[in-house]
Every structure is written in structure tokens, then in C-alpha cells.
Amino acid sequence: MKKLLLQNINYLVTMDEKRRELEGFSLLIEDGVITRVEKDIQAQPEWEVIDAGEYWVFPGLVNTHHHFYQVLTRSWENVQQAELFPWLKNLYPVWARLTPRGVVASTRIALAELLKSGCTTASDHHYVFPRGQDSGLIDYQIETAREMGVRFHPSRGSMSLGEDEGGLPPREIVQKESEILEDSLRLINSYHDPSPYSMCQIVLAPCSPFSVTPELLRETAVLARQYGVRCHTHLAETRDEDDFCQKELGMRPLEFMEKMGWTGGDVWYAHGIHFQDEELEVLARTGTGVAHCPVSNQKLSSGVARIPEMLEKDIPVGLAVDGSASNDGSNMLVEMKSALLLHKLYWGIDSMSARKVLEMATLGGARLLGRPDLGSIAPGQAGDLFMVDRRRVGYAGAQSDPVTALLTCGDSFQSDLTIVAGKILVREGKLVKFAEEDLHREAEKESRTMLEKG
């Protein structure tokens, strides 16, 4: 049985039921699961031991919305002044050149950035399946996440409503409903592991009301519930989406999704910005969740989500970096800082705190993904956490409150050690199993090919 002991932790933020923050405690992980959090744990000779006397320790962060493949089109000059719809229309033809090699290279980079910023569980929403291309793109992602050791919730995204039928995406990247549903079922049967401490759970995720047909939404929800997997999609991201739904469907986005069977504790939406008062009540009543993406929402000028009100109403809210082309990074620590500052600015000084944001990024994310075994540090919880060296230059003068310091200070926004299922995947701020320069080279090559072909 493999055991890892963190000894004499300077400051341990547990996010447990009592939200305890402990000084001078030790923590034992056995076979990937936390078994003891105590004042003194005597190390045994065969255990791996980390002296945590100079470290702040936090539960592993949970990222609840991403599009890894967009790593290859980050900071692309042609879309820097575009809001969502024109941004998408410019990028679709480039994304139509996505290959399996591109998927592997971008998945590696996104997961590397997430791990290096304290994220231990990643969700991805992959919805681009170019015509004529290998359709097993999510299989490559799953294999890559397994290699890297990250807990992974891949979403089988989809687009079925092409431009010629009134949708937004071009024909070359939309698929037939039957093909999508068949592949969704294949992925569930091949990879979905519902057991506690699972490393892979499949999610079904038609892309948005403006890129899929009502039939696909309805049938996807039925399939998901038949197999006990979660449902995810983009919703209430922009005013353009409101207009599209009113014009094409004759109702507002949430009303439409409700009619399609897309509300409930097993559903979470990315963004959730433009909800009206009565729509927040629907979310609260049905337990439907929201993945909050503050950096992307600012960058695309989409709007400010009503997160403080959602938290008051106990609507499940998690944090997310969103796709790499609208962020344009995958750094969860930066995302937390952005969430804190955005809400303070927009809703008022008392509307948000560092601890509320950390809760969103840990327990909140775990709730969206249906993972009671994640998001906190306590006996019986998965052995997922990250550690920050309090001696870094950026934390000088900020030792009185490590939680606030994590979000507001720091000169790097990097984790020093990231541990998933008891395995050390980042040490001294660097990936343990991969040479970062190799990952960079590989992704650069794929990115150039994709951008230059056009």
C-alpha cells in the first residue's frame, strides 16, 4: 500500500464540513485516499514524506468548463476585438482543421497549465469533430489525461445545426444526430466509471442552443439519464444568444432548455450570465448549476454573471477557465483572482471574498460534477491537493491570511506541488512526468499547421 505523508503543514485549508483551517497538522494519503488529518503522525520508514513546514496546503481545484483544443488558436490576432458570435464564425474554419495530433498536443498543454495552477480535476467540453477526420478525438483526450494522471470529466460535445439550417457553425464541423448519440453511448460504455475516486466520468454536452437541434438536446438528456451521466452545455452567455432564441425558437434560452428536459441537479451550464430574476428561481428550484468563467466573460465582453445572488440562493456554482482561445490561459489561480476582483468591482465590496471564491473552485466544482469525494481535505476524501511555498517573494508581507494571499498576492500564480490521487504530478512548480519544453514544441507545431493552412 503506497503512503504519502505531509508533515507539519504550516497552514492547511481543509474546506471540510466545518471549513477548518489548521496550523501544524499532518496529513496521510494511502492508496490515493486521505486517511488521516492529525496533529502528529509518526512517519514509517517505507512512507514517502514531505516536510510541509513552509507550505500552505489547499484542496485540489476543480475546473468545470474548458475547450482544450483552443490552445492551438490562443491570442489569434483576427479575433481579438470580436464578441462571441463573430469570434466563433472566424474561428470555426480554423478549428475545422483540427487533427488527432492537435487534440493530443493541446490536451497536454491545457492539463499541464491546470496542474501547475493547482487544478487536480479537469472537465473538458470537446464539440469540434471535423468531417472526414478520425471521430475518436475524445478517446485521445482520455488517453492523454490518463498518461498525465489528472482526474478527468470529458464532455462529449456536439454540433448538429449547420449554417444552412439556421445554426451558427459551418456544415464541415456538424455531425448527424444519430452519429452523435451512437458515439456518446460508445464513450459511456467504454470509459464512464461512476465509482468513488473515479479517474474518468463521461458527460454529454451538445454545444449550445444555436448549434444543435431541439431533437438532439431532448434525446441527449434521455440518454444521459438512462446511464446516470451528467449533462452540460453553454447557456445565457450573450445577448446575441437571447436574440437567436427569441427569433428562432420563440422563447428565452432557459425556457427552451427547460422544455428540452435540461434542468435538474445533473445539469450545469457554462457562463449563465443573462438570467432574469425568475430564471434564477428556476435554477434554485431545480438545482441546475452554473460554471462561472470570469476571465472569458470579460475578454469577450459577454457580461457579469449574478454569482453573489446565485450563491445566496444555493444555486450550485463552480469556477472554470473556459476555452483557451477566450481566456487565453488555463490558470485556475488567475481565474480565482479574477472572480474575486470582478464581483467586488461590479456588485460591491462585500459581494465576494477569497474564501467564497475558493469554495466555488473546490466544493462548488465538485458539486457540479457530482463528486462528493472531491473538493475538500478530510479522511475519506480523494488524495487531491496542491501546495504553495509561503517563502516565495510574492507572499512576503502576506502571511497573516494564506487564503486571501493565495488569490491576491503571488508573483507567479503557480502551485509548487500538485498531488492527484496521492501521486506528485508537479514538484517545484514543474511537471514531474513530462519535459515542458517538449509539450510546448509539439503544440506550437500543431498550432502553426492549423493557422497557416488557411
Q: Please give the residue ranges that form the binding site for Zn ion (CB under 5 A).
A: 270, 322-323
Of 418, 419, 388, 420, which is closest to residue 406 (Cα–Cα)?
A: 388
The answer to whether the beta carbons of residues 289 and 262 sit under 8 Å apart is no
* DSSP helix/strand/coil, 89: helix
The answer to whether the beta carbons of residues 95 and 351 sit under 8 Å apart is no
Q: What minimum distance in Å lies between the beta carbon of 385 and Zn ion?
A: 27
In the complex with Zn ion, which residue's Cβ is closer, 14 or 324?
324
By the 10 Å C-beta count (0-12 exposed, 13-18 middle, 19+ buried), 127 is classed as buried
Parallel, antiparallel, or unpaired: how do β-strands 385-389 and 55-59 relate?
A: antiparallel
In the complex with Zn ion, which residue's Cβ is closer, 63 or 288?
63
Q: What minimum distance in Å lies between the beta carbon of 42 and Zn ion?
A: 48
Q: What minimum distance in Å lies between the beta carbon of 270 and Zn ion?
A: 5
The answer to whether the beta carbons of residues 44 and 7 sit under 8 Å apart is no
Q: What minimum distance in Å lies between the beta carbon of 70 and Zn ion?
A: 9
Of 239, 361, 386, 221, which is closest to residue 293 (Cα–Cα)?
A: 361
In the complex with Zn ion, which residue's Cβ is closer, 326 or 414?
326
Q: What minimum distance in Å lies between the beta carbon of 49 and Zn ion?
A: 41
Parallel, antiparallel, or unpaired: how do β-strands 25-30 and 33-38 relate?
A: antiparallel
In the complex with Zn ion, which residue's Cβ is closer, 53 or 86?
86
The b/e string for 347-357 (b: 16+ C-beta within 10 A; e otherwise) is: eeeebbbbbbb
* Neighbour count for residue 242 (Cβ, 10 Å): 15
Q: What minimum distance in Å lies between the beta carbon of 396 and Zn ion?
A: 37
In the complex with Zn ion, which residue's Cβ is closer, 266 or 322?
322
In the complex with Zn ion, which residue's Cβ is closer, 29 or 84?
84
Q: What minimum distance in Å lies between the beta carbon of 119 and Zn ion?
A: 16
Q: What minimum distance in Å lies between the beta carbon of 234 and Zn ion?
A: 5
In the complex with Zn ion, which residue's Cβ is closer, 183 or 322?
322
Query: 296 is written with which cell numbers?
Result: 472569458
Q: What minimum distance in Å lies between the beta carbon of 322 and Zn ion?
A: 5
Q: How many residues does the chain have?
A: 454
**Rounded Cα–Cα distance for residues 95 and 89 (Å):** 10
Query: 237 is written with which cell numbers?
Result: 452567455
**Rounded Cα–Cα distance for residues 235 and 225 (Å):** 20
Q: Cα angle at 328 between 326 and 334, to 5 degrees?
A: 115
**Rounded Cα–Cα distance for residues 304 and 284 (Å):** 19
In the complex with Zn ion, which residue's Cβ is closer, 44 or 80?
80
The answer to whether the beta carbons of residues 67 and 205 sit under 8 Å apart is no
Q: What minimum distance in Å lies between the beta carbon of 3 and Zn ion?
A: 39
Q: Can you tell me which residue has the cell 439519464?
A: 225
Q: What minimum distance in Å lies between the beta carbon of 30 and Zn ion?
A: 37
Parallel, antiparallel, or unpaired: how do β-strands 417-420 and 385-389 relate?
A: antiparallel
Which uninterrupted H or E stretch holds 407? helix 402-408
In the complex with Zn ion, which residue's Cβ is closer, 272 or 375?
272
Q: Give every CB contact of residue 150 below 8 A, 6+ residues apart in sequence.
A: 111, 114, 115, 119, 120, 121, 122, 420, 425
Q: What minimum distance in Å lies between the beta carbon of 332 and Zn ion?
A: 16
In the complex with Zn ion, which residue's Cβ is closer, 13 or 368?
368
**Rounded Cα–Cα distance for residues 434 and 436 (Å):** 6
In the complex with Zn ion, which residue's Cβ is closer, 316 or 422?
316
In the complex with Zn ion, which residue's Cβ is closer, 279 or 322?
322
Parallel, antiparallel, or unpaired: how do β-strands 230-235 and 203-206 relate?
A: parallel
